[in-house]
Structure 1
Amino acid sequence: MRITRKAVLASVASVSVLALAACSGSDGGDTAEGEGDNAGINANTAINIAWNQPFYSFNGESITGNATANNIITYMANSRFVDYNMELELVADESFGTMEKVNDDPLTVEFTYADSAMWSDGVAAGPADLLLEWAAQSGKFNNVEPELDDEGNVTNQEAVDAGVYFDAASPSVALIEETPTIEDNSITMVYSKPFADWETSLDSNLPAHIVAQRALGIEDPEEATEALVAAITENKPEELSKIAKVWSEDWNFASLPEDEDLLVTSGPYAITDFVEEQYLTLTANENYEGDRPAAFDQITVRYNGDPMGQVQALQNGEVDLISPQSTADVLTALEAIDTIEVETNVEGTYEHVDMQQANGGPFDPATYGGDAEKAKQVRQAFLKTIPREQIVENLIKPLNPEAEVRNSFTQVPDSPMYEGIAEASGQGAEYADVDIAGAQALLQQVGVTTPVQVRLLFDPNNTRRSNTFELIKTSAAEAGFDVIPYTVQTDWGTDLSNATAFYDAALFGWQSTSTAVTEPDANFRTDATNNYYGYSNPAVDALFDELQVETDPAEQERILGEVEKHLVDDAFGVTIYQHPGITAYNPEKISNVQKLGIAPTIFYGFWEWSAGDAATDDATE
């Protein structure tokens, strides 16, 4: 067993894009041996990889599906115009297409699909696919919003079905106000104002022809695609209503769907088997013609939320690659296995606590007759009880002795902007230490009697989060808060956005997926994709409007500092620590594993993996 330590944190210095986290490199543009038709596949090879949260949606661009557990699968199954390499530089996959800025004023971007860009059912990928994503993510056509009851059920389903509702919201895509234009195999997007992160604003996602076939009842894929383009460009509400419903709902599945159309992909792999809560299998797409062919014939992702369970599975040969949420016990157990490679690192995920402000709970102004100030003081009181230093000392420093409390909502520690933004926010000063007396004083001041019950959402199968919950519960009880686990409706990741009435605060991690400076917008803007809590501050919205067009790093730092100051003043929540990471794998089964500092982490560069002799032996047994 060989243990190495990689300082991944430095490579995620400016990362901001976030997805729900359950938990030496190439340039990312190299091709495997052979060209087209997945010529780089090692025939009859298989690999098993453990992951902590099951897949539940193939539409990772929707509000419901925006989670790392989903996007690691779509990363291997679908092609994109751009990806990151190990140095976090954007690299184009020209075998899928090219993206070019053709004008600065107004900002104009042209996407051109390559001849080798192909869906696995034989239909060419093309401009309609990106037009659909613009329609979905821009919010341009939405004319209704779902209304939920206390159990997370939609109460206005008839209105939603009759109207147009795409389950998505992207402030950056909303800047493309004009309907994009299509010419041959290209589509041109014109922004209404300059945008700093245009390169990561929009990319390919679902097959437009299948969305149209399902929504409009047109069998021929070419005719279906033409009808979809017409519905969008001519703004036909009746057709758009059906298209939006299919886009939002049909690709949400937790086991293998009967309809194979839902399994059509544009990349090296396709889903061929999926047993709920157990495993998902990807098999090499024989029709793939791009430059990133599958290295293994088959990849099976096996789901296990127990970090020690993953270690045991690796030791038993049930899986070959793991990256469990790290604890001291996990590291010790891995050190005892002499047949594996182990690497430790700091990840692009940070732990935090956010609070519900619109669910009728203890942090909602409605609970106090609409008194927003009183609700804010109760939130402040709760935040004063969260033992951030103790959590880091007890749970993180045994893995990373240099670990410190993170004091920024948008910046990774040691990044160029971190110190300035953390200081401007005041989070470190406001919540440097647990302040039980201060919390009690605030509750007394607003006349709130104790105990105040707080339902805390977290992954109950995650050892470190369970330990964190116990530390928070014990500390908060001293001030008069009764912190209890939330009531599970489906699973914690889905409930985070869809069952908000069942929890008052959430303990989880946001995982960085990009280096775009504007992407915290999705977490804190009113009604934004990742803002599940009813938080709204017009000043924050205006600052994000300003950030979208700002390219000067000094001004970007100032704007984000002001955003974070509002978050602290509004008692939005609190950050705790940057995740320590562990990767372990069996070198006889897989090599050239390169863990990216942001999502997709251990799945990065899957086309450059090498299969060992044992991988071939297992696959042919």
Structure 2
Amino acid sequence: MKRISAAVAIAAVGALAISGCAAGGDSDGDSGLVEGSSITAAWNQAFYSMNGNTSFGNATANNNINYLVLDGFNYYDNTPALVKNTSFGSYEVLSEDPLEVKYTIADGVKWSDGTDIDAADLLLNWAALSRALDTPDFDPADFTDPETGEFTDAFPTDVVYFDSGATPTSGVGLVSQTPEVGDDGKSITLKYDAPFVDWELSFASPLPAHIIAEKALGIDDPAEAKQAVLDAIDNEDAAALAKLSSFWNSGFNFTEMPSDTDLVTASGPYMITDYVADQFVTLKANPEYKGDNAPNIEEITIRFIPDPLAAVQALENGEVDIIQPQATADIVTALDGIDNITVNQGVGGTYEHIDLQFDQGKNPENIFSNPQVREAFLKTVPRQEILDKLIKPIAGEDALLRSSQIFVPGAEGYDDSVAANGSEAFAEVDIEGAKALLDASGVTNRDVCILYASNNPRRVNEFALIQQSANLAGFNVTDCGSTEWGGLLGTPGAYDASLFGWQSTSLGVTNSLPTFETGGINNLNFYSSEAVDAAVKSLQTEFDAEKQITLQQDLDKALWADFYGVTIFQFPEVTAFSDRVTNIDPSILAPTIFWNAWDWEVTDGGTAE
């Protein structure tokens, strides 16, 4: 039979990221692993990078998988609450003023190739996430391919540049001094230049330093490779660091199983063992993983199915066991006709929005550098029509028009912020007002090319409604839709406006700020505002909850006043899974269905055909 349950209610979420059977197997000792067991999940976008900390790789499609193959010091459960992952390592505050945090790797923790995880991995992670050793004032814009979003072969070989989007005013960017290595190479201590309220969330999962050094510096021995990383950082060896940063940026980008399997070296409960381009990634239990989150299922295959109805059909046919497609009315109807599944519906932590390119757009006149044109375009976006036609048929009365760049609907501070932030001016379409502003702007080239996922039916419909409305005001909206839209975000010259969703990844008060801060990793539209940067800086050092809300409201108001872009709706979320798999319990935060994949179990103890 089919069971329907309500999804978790919206919380005050923060950080954003760019969604027949064989015989049963045997349990592997006390680990709970059932040998030979396998399931298949579906996602709507293909994986393309094992480094989710670059501007190119920071996408949900990547980070769902990276979450399972790269371990770290903490993660969120579906409460949602932050869980310390002490089986990987521990961290402690040694001093609050100045802020000093020590990170220590637990005993016996190894990479999937058997190499110890240690301070070399952590120190290289610091260098990348802080950019403290980067060549000053280098701008990579001229070396980014507008067709792919990746760095070109012309990228300078003598430049140290880690593409983490770190700024010297936030997160690990505040750790400008090289950390101290201790505990026989098992720990590093970060000394912050200033307090940072969300320090506990700032140190992401590391990549394998020995693999990076092997490929970048030509050192085969893991111990020697690690030492070369430590030496390069300690000596600020620009020549070595340039090679290390180049590989860190691009070496883990791949769209099919790499011939060099060193590139899938893992630290988490799973590791990538197969990848067929645009079809699927297969994850298998990592034999070197000894942490607390040891998996029950030996093999998880993630199929890439962009069309939501195709995902539903695959679930009905038994080809996949778990889906979380972008919801449409047709999806809800189709799921209602399938037996032996569980359907979980509710409002998710992702919101739809349009961002305008303040600089380096596709239009040769850089159309949205003009505030009158930005205001005019936002007046044409049919937010309510999109909600009524595309979202209400799915979510009914739960359909939510979002009117804040910072706050989630229902969160403390949302209502007051919406009342004062200026979003009311864009509650309804105003074609005549848009025409007047556009004429007054003096802009002659009115082309606006919008980037969106061309293989996503809902986005195709959204684009059509926006195009029709904006053209009535005198814009010439053209189609920059692409199946590779994720890698193109932030690429100079690729588009003028983007239509996509930001998915919340944490409860941190500062973690949406890299979207708006000058030079932040999620600042994909070249936006820069002294007022916004000042509010961001204040928020990063403010520990008082009431003052945090006030600062966020100020920030929200400044973004709307700049005509930064427009928020549209909070995502309706639908998860469905077959009765042959249990312990599926989605979180409102990324990676949603995958957050506890190690707890999943197959009810038949075997494999899907």
TM range (shorter): over 0.9
How big is each residue's C-alpha offset from its partner over 1:141-178, in whole Å with a ceiling of 9 and x where there is no partner? 22133233796278986562111111112331111121
2:592 aligned residue: 601
Aligned residues of 2:345 and 2:573 also touching (Cα < 8 A): yes
Aligned residues of 1:169 and 1:529 also touching (Cα < 8 A): yes
Deviation at 1:424, TM superposition (A): 3.3
Report the secondary structure of 1:291's partner residue. coil
1:18 aligned residue: 16
How big is each residue's C-alpha offset from its partner over 1:201-259, in whole Å with a ceiling of 9 and x where there is no partner? 10322011111122222221111111101111221101101110111111011101111
* Paired residue type of 1:608: D
Q: Does 1:283 align with 2:284?
A: yes
2:6 aligned residue: 6
1:182 aligned residue: 181
> Judging changes above 3 Å, is the alpha-carbon distance between structure 1 residues 148 and 155 closer, same or farther for their aligned structure 2 residues?
farther
For residue 490 of structure 2, the aligned residue among 470, 476, 497 is 497
Q: Matches of 1:602 and 1:7 in 2, distance apart?
A: 11
Q: Matches of 2:124 and 2:228 in 1, distance apart?
A: 12
Aligned residues of 1:61 and 1:205 also touching (Cα < 8 A): no
Counterparts of 1:276-355 in structure 2, within 5 Å, are 276-355=277-356
How big is each residue's C-alpha offset from its partner over 1:314-364, in whole Å with a ceiling of 9 and x where there is no partner? 1111111000000010000000001211110111100000011212555x8
2:76 aligned residue: 84
Q: Matches of 1:610 and 1:156 in 2, distance apart?
A: 44
* Paired residue type of 2:2: R
Aligned residues of 1:122 and 1:287 also touching (Cα < 8 A): yes
Report the secondary structure of 2:78's partner residue. coil
Aligned residues of 1:38 and 1:284 also touching (Cα < 8 A): no
1:28 aligned residue: none
Counterparts of 1:88-167 in structure 2, within 5 Å, are 88-143=80-135, 144-148=138-142, 152=146, 160-167=156-163
Aligned residues of 2:284 and 2:298 also touching (Cα < 8 A): yes
> Judging changes above 3 Å, is the alpha-carbon distance between structure 1 residues 109 and 460 closer, same or farther for their aligned structure 2 residues?
same
- Structure 1 regions of 5+ residues with no counterpart? 24-32
How big is each residue's C-alpha offset from its partner over 1:247-301, in whole Å with a ceiling of 9 and x where there is no partner? 1111011101111111110111111100110000001112211111112110000
Deviation at 1:420, TM superposition (A): 2.5
Counterparts of 1:453-532 in structure 2, within 5 Å, are 453-486=447-480, 488=482, 491-498=484-491, 500-532=492-524
Aligned residues of 2:361 and 2:495 also touching (Cα < 8 A): no
* % identical aligned pairs: 44
Aligned residues of 1:38 and 1:293 also touching (Cα < 8 A): no
Q: Matches of 1:303 and 1:491 in 2, distance apart?
A: 13
Q: Matches of 1:34 and 1:340 in 2, distance apart?
A: 25
Deviation at 1:8, TM superposition (A): 2.1
> Judging changes above 3 Å, is the alpha-carbon distance between structure 1 residues 149 and 228 closer, same or farther for their aligned structure 2 residues?
closer
Q: Matches of 2:498 and 2:164 in 1, distance apart?
A: 21
Deviation at 1:367, TM superposition (A): 5.5
Q: Matches of 1:482 and 1:508 in 2, distance apart?
A: 20
> Judging changes above 3 Å, is the alpha-carbon distance between structure 1 residues 435 and 292 closer, same or farther for their aligned structure 2 residues?
same
2:200 aligned residue: 199
2:528 aligned residue: 536
For residue 388 of structure 1, the aligned residue among 383, 406, 420 is 383
Aligned residues of 1:328 and 1:398 also touching (Cα < 8 A): yes
Counterparts of 1:607-618 in structure 2, within 5 Å, are 607-613=598-604, 616-618=606-608
* Paired residue type of 2:432: A
> Judging changes above 3 Å, is the alpha-carbon distance between structure 1 residues 376 and 218 closer, same or farther for their aligned structure 2 residues?
same
Q: Matches of 1:537 and 1:102 in 2, distance apart?
A: 35
2:23 aligned residue: none
TM-score using structure 2 length: 0.94
Deviation at 1:109, TM superposition (A): 0.8
Q: Matches of 2:177 and 2:534 in 1, distance apart?
A: 22
Report the secondary structure of 2:162's partner residue. coil
Deviation at 1:52, TM superposition (A): 0.4
Aligned residues of 1:116 and 1:290 also touching (Cα < 8 A): no
Q: Matches of 1:305 and 1:142 in 2, distance apart?
A: 38
Q: Matches of 1:334 and 1:96 in 2, distance apart?
A: 39
Q: Does 1:210 align with 2:203?
A: no
Aligned residues of 1:146 and 1:157 also touching (Cα < 8 A): no
Aligned length: 593
Q: Matches of 2:284 and 2:499 in 1, distance apart?
A: 35
Q: Does 1:557 align with 2:553?
A: no
Q: Which runs of 4+ in 1 moved over 4 A?
A: 153-159, 364-368
Report the secondary structure of 2:259's partner residue. coil
Of 133-142 and 349-358, the range deviating more from structure 2: 133-142
TM-score using structure 1 length: 0.92
How big is each residue's C-alpha offset from its partner over 1:109-167, in whole Å with a ceiling of 9 and x where there is no partner? 11111113210111111122111111011121221332337962789865621111111
Deviation at 1:422, TM superposition (A): 2.4
* Paired residue type of 1:547: L
* Paired residue type of 1:162: D
* Paired residue type of 2:280: Y
Deviation at 1:6, TM superposition (A): 2.1
Report the secondary structure of 2:348's partner residue. strand
1:424 aligned residue: 420
Counterparts of 1:21-32 in structure 2, within 5 Å, are 23=19
Q: Matches of 1:155 and 1:87 in 2, distance apart?
A: 39
Q: Matches of 1:559 and 1:617 in 2, distance apart?
A: 52
* Paired residue type of 1:455: C
Of 251-260 and 399-408, the range deviating more from structure 2: 399-408
Q: Matches of 1:446 and 1:152 in 2, distance apart?
A: 28
Aligned residues of 1:145 and 1:160 also touching (Cα < 8 A): no
Aligned residues of 1:487 and 1:503 also touching (Cα < 8 A): no
Q: Does 1:405 align with 2:401?
A: yes
For residue 371 of structure 2, the aligned residue among 376, 397, 411 is 376
Of 249-258 and 475-484, the range deviating more from structure 2: 475-484
How big is each residue's C-alpha offset from its partner over 1:354-383, in whole Å with a ceiling of 9 and x where there is no partner? 011212555x87569xxx5xx110111010
Report the secondary structure of 1:519's partner residue. coil
Q: Matches of 1:155 and 1:282 in 2, distance apart?
A: 28
How big is each residue's C-alpha offset from its partner over 1:408-453, in whole Å with a ceiling of 9 and x where there is no partner? 11211001121233233221x1211111111011112223458x22
Q: Matches of 1:169 and 1:38 in 2, distance apart?
A: 42
* Paired residue type of 1:443: L
Q: Matches of 1:356 and 1:299 in 2, distance apart?
A: 39
Q: Matches of 1:570 and 1:235 in 2, distance apart?
A: 40
Deviation at 1:484, TM superposition (A): 2.0
> Judging changes above 3 Å, is the alpha-carbon distance between structure 1 residues 349 and 487 closer, same or farther for their aligned structure 2 residues?
closer
Q: Matches of 1:283 and 1:423 in 2, distance apart?
A: 50
Q: Matches of 2:208 and 2:161 in 1, distance apart?
A: 18
How big is each residue's C-alpha offset from its partner over 1:466-504, in whole Å with a ceiling of 9 and x where there is no partner? 11111111211221122221064x711111133x41311
* Paired residue type of 1:501: G
Aligned residues of 1:147 and 1:156 also touching (Cα < 8 A): no
Aligned residues of 1:343 and 1:582 also touching (Cα < 8 A): yes
Q: Matches of 2:270 and 2:366 in 1, distance apart?
A: 49
Report the secondary structure of 2:393's partner residue. coil
